[in-house]
Structure 1
Amino acid sequence: MKCPFCSSENTRVIDSRPADDNNSIRRRRLCDDCGKRFTTYEKVETIPLIVIKKDNTREQYDRSKIEGGVLRACHKRPISVNQINQLVDEVETEIFNREEKEIPSSLIGELVMDKLKDLEAVAYVRFASVYREFKDVNTFMSELKKMLDK
């Protein structure tokens, strides 16, 4: 590992521990030439995942898009940031466990809706109204009836 200060390749690890997310390792390193310390993170390399959108365009998977949608659905609801992060982690785990290189956005949306349904009803309906593109009140009401019947 090159030193970011003097570009020397003569560095060594002096401390290693799991990072906060428990999905990476935080390493403190020491440069033997200049004596400065720096931190690096080591993370498991995942296969690049491509999302197939509704209009058949493709784009690289972006976790922040799922987070953004869930955050908007949970706005002003009694749901903690930890619960939201756990939901997104669960969806992401299911996606990557499929070990596919391409995944339809519709599948991601359904996974998020399933998790939201268990977490909070209002957040679920909010997400579903955008995801399923409710055109009128009748389709909205039919989704609410499905929720109430269960």
Structure 2
Amino acid sequence: MPAGCANMALLILSLPATMHCPFCGANDTKVIDSRLVAEGEQVRRRRECLACGERFTTFETAELVLPRLIKQDGSRQPFDEEKLRAGMQRALEKRPVSVERLEAALVHIKHKLRATGEREVKSLVVGELVMAELQKLDEVAYIRFASVYRRFQDLNEFREEIE
């Protein structure tokens, strides 16, 4: 890396990041801890509001274009990370899985989608990726998600999935 680029990277990283406090709305916050998470794909920052003293966590990722989704009815829509996160959180509700592990799974799914090199992917591909990640995270969450996603018609189909 040319010396100028390294200096620029240091300059950018050393600039104070101001963010509004989600508790009081003040924009006087400071970063008290930063660390790489999700296999180095994200930066997790602990922040403290200088106005009210509350602490909160933010996650920072590079914004890269994800493929559009082709739904089962043939319609197309942009990839919605919040919808993906909400579905996985629903499956993981009241399960012993940390936010960091969930975020790492989301990063892994997005990485695999980008790695296809396709501009569009079938929503079924995303569903299969989610199930694979949930199976690694928590067996109960996997079964919860699969039971809704696969739309089992009877108990035998459900049993087959579990086995």
TM-score by length of 1: 0.67
Q: Which has the larger radius of gyration?
A: 1
1:101 corresponds to which residue? 119
Structure 1 pair 116/48, CA: closer, same or farther in 2 (3 Å)?
Answer: closer
Structure 2: distance between partners of 1:76 and 1:23: 25
Residue 85 of structure 1 is matched in structure 2 by 103
1:110 to 124, 128, 139: 128
Cα-Cα RMSD: 2.5
State the shift of 1:62 in Å. 0.9
> Shift in Å at residue 99 of structure 1?
1.5
Q: Are residues 1:144 and 2:162 paired? A: yes
Give the % identical residues. Answer: 36
Query: Which is further off, 47-56 or 110-119?
Result: 47-56
Contact 2:66–2:114 (CA under 8 A) maintained in structure 1: no
1:58 is the counterpart of 2:54: no
Does the Cα contact within 8 Å between 2:67 and 2:113 map onto a contact in 1?
Answer: no
Which letter maps to 1:95?
L
Q: Which amino acid is the alignment partner of residue 17 of structure 1?
A: L
Q: SS state of the match for residue 151, structure 2? A: coil
Structure 2 spans left out of the alignment, 5+ residues: 1-10, 18-33, 44-60
Gaps of 5+ in 1: 1-14, 25-42, 146-150
> What corresponds to 2:91 in structure 1?
73
Which one is further off, 76-85 or 127-136? 127-136
TM-score w.r.t. length of structure 2 = 0.62
Residue 47 (structure 1) shift: 3.7
Is 2:116 aligned against 1:120? no
Secondary structure class of the residue paired with 1:106? helix
State the partner residue of 1:17. 13
Deviations 1:41-65 (A, max 9, x none): xx86634521001111110111111
User: Separation in 1 of the partners of 2:158 and 2:123?
Assistant: 21
Q: Which amino acid aligns with 1:16?
A: I
Distance in 2 separating the partners of 1:122 and 1:48: 29
Q: Aligned partners of 2:151, 2:97: CA distance in 1, in Å? A: 24
For 1:59 and 1:53, the matched residues in 2 are separated by: 8
